[in-house]
Amino acid sequence: MSVKQFRPAFDRGFHNLTFGLAMFVLVLLVAILAFLVVGSIPVLKNQGLGFFISAEWNPVTDVYGALPAIIQTLITAVIALLIGVPVSFGIAIFLTELAPAWIARPVGVAIEMLAAIPSIIYGMWGLFVFAPTFGTVIQRWVMANLAPLPVIGPLFASPPMGIGIFTASIILAIMIVPFITAMMRDVFTTVPAVLKESAYGLGCTRWEVVYRIVLPYCRAGTVGAVMLGLGRALGETMAVTFVIGNSHRLTASIMGPGATISSSIANEFVEADSKLHTSALVTLGLTLFVITFIVLAVARLFLLRLKKQAGH
């Protein structure tokens, strides 16, 4: 075979190979979805849509309701984002726009290392170090000073155990910061220097450059970084299981114990011996799948709108 004949054949082969790999992802996704749907049938047949709106989770009577887990999954993820995003944003801006090289480098490496720490380590650290300190120092104060307040008081009322929804949210925030930061930093460095230099040349301050040049240029990437963090916060399992307190109850308090979808599955799957219990856990998995899908879809729509506004 001459080189001339060989190249198109190789190209076709390469095309087919990569096409196959790409399709593999789709097949895998469909297979997982099918498994979740089939596994959900028993409990949905038995309890109908009540599964999603009931707050009762009782293996003794085989009655399962996902509402507390769904709500607490969303609450922990949202609080984690509220804490994590501004922090990550600050770090990323500092690293790309303000820091001298001798400090940007070690901090950058530190962030990558933080991202590489396995989640169970965060969980253990959370349980043994963070939770006791948080309980005795902060929660005791919160309970004494905020819990007696009218209206918002019940949000904070809980014995100072250091373990609960808010603790889990903070651990989640710590876990997603390195991810979001690393991505934002990479995106921010793509801004052409000439753009920024022109702005400085026009007399812009640092803040104005960040706000009017860097941010608009990196909008899509920034939103992507936040969504990545949100996805991780929604699905994070082991660290949350360690510190959330694992109780299937709807409470007004964000300081009290709760359970997320993934922590419930991690806790109970091995021991679920009734058919409905297993099915209920699989359905929780399906619910998380759908929630994540909705979140990603919303993010896409949001990005599309941003692009339109920007006139691209």
Partner 1 sequence: MLTTFKKSILGGAALLMAAGVFASAQATEISGAGATFPYPVYAKWAEAYEAKTGVKMNYQSIGSGGGIKQIKASTVDFGASDAPLTKEELDEAGLVQWPMIMGGVVPVVNIKGIKGGDVKLSGQVLADIYLGKITKWDDKAIADLNPDLKLPSEAISVVERSDGSGTTFNFTNYLAAVSPEWKDSIGVNKSVQWPVGVGGKGNEGVASYTKQIDGSIGYVEYAYALQNDLAYTQMQNKDGEFVSPTAGSFAAAAANADWANAPGYYLILGNQPGAKSWPITAASFILVHKSQDNAETAKEVLKFFDWSFKNGSDIADKLDYVAMPENVVDMVEKTWTADVKGSDGKKIW
Residues that bind partner 1 (CB under 8 A): 56-61, 127-128, 131-132, 135-136, 159-164, 241, 245-248, 257, 259, 266-268, 270-273
Tell me if residue 260 falls in helix, strand or coil: coil
Tell me if residue 205 falls in helix, strand or coil: coil
CB of 296 to partner 1, least distance (A): 30
CB of 18 to partner 1, least distance (A): 31
Local structure of residue 155 (DSSP, 8 states): G
Tokens read off for 204: 């812009």
Residue with smaller CB distance to partner 1, 43 or 226: 43
140 near 185, Cβ under 8 Å?
Answer: no
Residue with smaller CB distance to partner 1, 120 or 195: 120
Residues 6+ apart with CB under 8 A from 268: 59, 277, 281
CB of 105 to partner 1, least distance (A): 35
Distance (Å, whole) CA 179 – CA 145: 35
CB of 282 to partner 1, least distance (A): 15
Distance (Å, whole) CA 273 – CA 275: 6
Residue with smaller CB distance to partner 1, 226 or 243: 243
**Using N-to-C axis directions, what is the helix angle for 67-93 and 261-268, rounded to 10°?**
120
Residue with smaller CB distance to partner 1, 114 or 272: 272
CB of 119 to partner 1, least distance (A): 15
Residue with smaller CB distance to partner 1, 229 or 245: 245
Angle ∠(171,172,176) on CA atoms, nearest 5 = 120
Residue with smaller CB distance to partner 1, 199 or 272: 272
Q: In which residue are the tokens 């400090």 written?
A: 103
CB of 162 to partner 1, least distance (A): 7
Residue with smaller CB distance to partner 1, 163 or 213: 163
What count of Cα atoms within 13 Å lies in the side-chain half-sphere of residue 138? 12
Distance (Å, whole) CA 209 – CA 97: 9
CB of 241 to partner 1, least distance (A): 6
